[in-house]
């Protein structure tokens, strides 16, 4: 189900999306939302989030550099700020460990150039080198694998936001609301026992939801050293994530135990989010 906003893209009620796709009630509706960044939310958007949908918690999966870059061009009329009455959780899913791992994949000369650029504050140029040489070749799903492997504590922290009834209803987002958001949503739905085809269906709704801003995103990705296709979505997303978890960790439960999201945490998530 698509919910219309003035300035918030790719917004949907995950429970309703899954239930409509499966034709049965599996996930609670009206408590588990996802979107792209809400930095440009209009006053009407803010009222809808807080008062109409009753959202209590906003989980931001971006890192600080992204937040600053995304908010830098906003006008006073669209000044960024937290919505009064909502709780905010900033969880850097692609944080320091993730970035260190990717940087170590660079050759020595590229690594040297990147370090110099970062030292002098040329962050975008440094990111562009990392994107072209490390991120782009791995593709969307390959970077999701890296995130799973390198960002376990952050992923566990994000999942824990779902298990407190006082946090719900909850909105989780990153930049476009498709990749990091898609990964966290996928893991939560896997814990609930949602079939992989339904999880992929929810993930791929981002393709249509983000189509209107394709040209803007294309320019943004080019500046970061990524091809326009990076703004799209991957095929068989949930199925490939499950494959990685099975091959490297034995299964979903093995992975969640490894990152510290234990059996009792999973049972609480099921209690809170199951229909």
Write the pLDDT tens digit of every residue in 32-57: 999 999 988 889 999 999 999 999 99
Cα–Cα distance between 199 and 239 in angstroms, integer?
9
Q: What's the pLDDT at 97?
A: 92
Write the pLDDT tens digit of every residue in 109-140: 998 998 898 878 887 788 888 889 999 999 99
Cα–Cα distance between 44 and 48 in angstroms, integer?
6
Q: Residue 78: which pLDDT band, with cuts at 50, 70 and 90?
A: very low
Q: What's the pLDDT at 153?
A: 97
Tokens of residue 39, six digits? 């930095």
- Mean pLDDT over residues 247-251, rounded? 98
Q: Is the distance from CB of 146 to CB of 102 less than 8 angstroms? A: yes
Write the pLDDT tens digit of every residue in 142-164: 999 999 999 999 999 999 999 98
Mean pLDDT for the chain? 90
DSSP 105-140: TS-HHHHHHHHHHHHTT-HHHHHHHHIIIIIHHHHH
Q: Is 90 exceeded by the pLDDT of residue 70?
A: no
Using alpha carbons, select from 191, 183, 179 the residue that is nearest to residue 238.
183
What is each CA distance from 123 to 119, 147, 221, in whole angstroms? 9, 21, 14
Q: Is 80 exceeded by the pLDDT of residue 77?
A: no
């Amino acid at each position: 189900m698509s919910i219309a906003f003035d300035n918030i893209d790719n917004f949907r009620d995950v429970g309703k999306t899954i239930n409509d796709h499966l034709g049965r009630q599996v996930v609670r509706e009206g408590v588990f939302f996802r979107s792209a960044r809400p930095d440009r939310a209009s006053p009407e958007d803010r009222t809808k989030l807080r008062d109409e949908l009753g959202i209590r918690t906003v989980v931001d999966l971006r890192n600080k550099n992204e937040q600053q870059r995304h908010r830098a061009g906003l006008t006073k009329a669209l000044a960024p700020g937290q919505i009064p009455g909502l709780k905010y959780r900033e969880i850097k899913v692609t944080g320091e460990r993730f970035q260190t791992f990717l940087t170590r994949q660079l050759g020595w000369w590229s690594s040297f150039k990147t370090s110099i650029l970062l030292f002098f504050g040329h962050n975008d140029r440094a990111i562009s080198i990392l994107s072209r040489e490390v991120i782009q070749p791995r593709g969307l799903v390959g970077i999701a694998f890296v995130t799973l492997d390198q960002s376990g504590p952050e992923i566990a922290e994000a999942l824990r936001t779902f298990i407190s009834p006082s946090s719900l209803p909850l909105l989780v987002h990153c930049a476009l609301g498709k990749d990091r958001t898609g990964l966290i949503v996928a893991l939560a739905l896997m814990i609930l026992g949602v079939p992989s085809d339904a999880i992929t269906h929810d993930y791929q709704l981002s393709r249509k939801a983000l189509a209107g801003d394709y040209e803007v995103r294309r320019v943004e990705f080019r500046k970061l050293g990524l091809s326009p296709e990076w703004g799209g979505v991957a095929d068989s997303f949930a199925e490939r994530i499950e494959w990685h978890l099975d091959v490297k960790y034995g299964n979903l439960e093995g992975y969640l135990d490894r990152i510290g999201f234990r059996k009792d945490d999973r049972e609480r998530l099921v209690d809170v989010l199951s229909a």
